[in-house]
Chain A
């Protein structure tokens, strides 16, 4: 079966720094894949390389067998690749509803004059978008605060909104960058449950970067471990938990501080 997502020897360089070096990764359709590694391992850069937010210097990214390496970010998004952000990137002055509406809008098209004169077609499309946004907001329990300005929300709710915004457009591949950071345990559980239900009902493939190992162990079917921009281990959560290399990478042989946010 063609993998949903395939990275073939992908490298990303920033000046003289090799953020990602010859990384290969293959995720099957419908799979929930975890991506972990110590800070600075290059996890977010991998997500940026897949979504076209940074240019790869080498290698190929394929979506359902199609090469998307050189496509602009918005076209990759239109092919069904969604993402969340480590630091949310909310449209701060817009309402929660409007944030999500931007997310669902990618499939509809219209002419400027249709929007300017509010033609029946434009109004019909708008109603459709609002219905989709409404459903997603409801699934994430954000309906009550839909008119709040995003900039006024605390970080945990913003992360939830970010998740809702990315999932509202029904991506076939969703890349989640630390989706539960800033959330309480209960918030994290409910957000992840909502994401999982929506993902499984649509057959969405998930690639999740997460430091909360409790969430990761419960969510991921397989886990890929990165260090220094390369894959150092791969396997089921149980295998990874017992893997000596991984423990070493996270905790360091002389037990230094880097792994403090991983141990629970």
Chain B
């Protein structure tokens, strides 16, 4: 009953993997750096979309979970000498735990109230980082220890690129699995009709909490990787503007759609680079493009992709409208 046929999405994944492989082996350090940042944005967007798009809970503090991942993994490496492949997952787990804690009061809220509660959480994290300067470096920031596979084997820039790419692939793959699973259906069901979901045995409160924790875990992973790639963390990077930027990724890409998270994050990460030639007008141009995409593709860039796949794969099968009429 499982669909094992080659679908456009597989071709897309394959092409993506190939491109990344090519980029990692041929490109110079600056382009690789930019691509790494874009891939990290993809991971963050994937997590945020699970929460906002699928479970229907607005969040203005996704960047705070990235901060927990970034500071957490840096401090674990600095204090206990953990290699990155231990410190980052630990920090992501920590972010998930904090996410679950935040989700507990948050699941009673929705809409603007939830937005404000998560905004308050963002401020708390900012203040906590700034005030515990002994550990975090406060407003001056923190130098991130060089990443290593093993104490004697450092991670070179090229390997770091592939680490990021691998983590990005893992994030997309695991989110795809989750969305297709029972849990994924329940997360969507809790958003679409909490009443019916409850009646079908879904604990809406637990599902919403799970979505919070999951989304925070992806953000933690993204934050940990960001700290390695940039080599330096400061609280400003994880403020409200970062949180809003991540929301833009998923709104432009497509709410509740995994492909939307990927497309939105890649497009908006690439846009400033493409508009570089517009110099002082680049901000204006990117704002206009953003507005246009919202006006003409209110359901996100992913609609383009859906048009493409629906036509090529299911030329006849659009089983809408009742056959019973």
Query: Which residues of chain A have a CB within 8 Å of any CB of chain B?
Result: 51-53, 72-75, 77-78, 82-83, 85, 89-94, 98, 101-103, 105-106, 108, 110, 112, 115-118, 122, 125-127, 129-131, 134, 144-145, 147-149, 152-154, 156-157, 165-166, 169, 187
Whole-angstrom distance between the alpha carbons of A106 and B182 in the complex? 9
Render B211-223 as a binary contact track against A, CB cut-off 8 A, 1 for contact. 0001000000000
Please tell me if B67 contacts chain A, counting CB pairs below 8 Å.
no
A94 touches B183 (CB 8 A): no
Shortest distance from the beta carbon of B180 to any chain A beta carbon, whole Å: 8
Interface residues of B in 131-156 (CB under 8 A from A): none
For the complex formed, measure the closest distance between the CB of B2 and the CB atoms of chain A, giving whole angstroms.
8
Chain A residues whose C-beta falls within 8 Å of the C-beta of B214 in the assembled complex:
112
**B320 to A53, Cβ gap below 8 A?**
no
A72 to B204, CA, bound (A): 11
Which residues in B have their C-beta under 8 angstroms from that of A147?
Answer: 317, 319
Q: Which of A91, A122, A165 contacts B192 (CB under 8 A)?
A: A91
* B→A interface (CB under 8 Å): 1-2, 174-175, 177-178, 181-186, 188-189, 192-193, 195-204, 210, 214, 256, 317, 319-325
Q: Is the CB of A127 within 8 A of B204?
A: no
Complex alpha-carbon distance, A90 and B320, angstroms? 15
Q: List 22 A-B residue pairs with CB atoms under 8 Å apart, sorted by A's residue number.
A: A52-B198, A75-B203, A77-B198, A89-B193, A92-B192, A93-B256, A94-B188, A98-B188, A101-B182, A103-B200, A106-B200, A106-B202, A110-B181, A115-B182, A116-B178, A129-B182, A145-B323, A147-B317, A148-B320, A156-B322, A156-B324, A169-B201
For B207, the closest partner residue in chain A by CB is A74
- Asked if B181 contacts A122 (CB within 8 A), the reply is yes
A182 to chain B, nearest CB (A): 11
B317 → chain A closest CB, angstroms: 7
A115 touches B192 (CB 8 A): no
CB distance from A103 to the nearest CB of B (A): 5
Bound: A134/B256 CA distance, A:
26
Chain A residues touching B, majority SS: helix
Closest to A122 in B: B181
If A102-B189, A154-B322 are given as contacts, then 6 extra A-B residue pairs at C-beta distance below 8 Å, sorted by A number, are: A52-B198, A73-B199, A102-B197, A126-B181, A154-B321, A166-B199
Q: Are B178 and A93 in contact (CB under 8 A)?
A: no
- With both chains docked as a complex, state the minimum distance between the C-beta of A110 and any C-beta of chain B, in angstroms: 7
B183–A74 CB distance below 8 A = no
- With A92-B192, A127-B1 given, is the CB distance from A73 to B182 under 8 Å? no
Residue of A nearest to B198 (CB): A73
Nearest-CB residue, chain B, relative to A134? B1
Q: Which residues of A lie under 8 Å from residue B197 when comparing CB positions?
A: 74, 91, 102
Cross-chain contact B185 with A105 (CB below 8 angstroms): yes
Counting from the closest, the 6 A-B pairs by CB-CB distance are A106-B201, A89-B196, A115-B181, A73-B198, A77-B201, A116-B174
- Partner among B1, B174, B192, B320 whose Cβ is within 8 Å of the Cβ of A130: B1
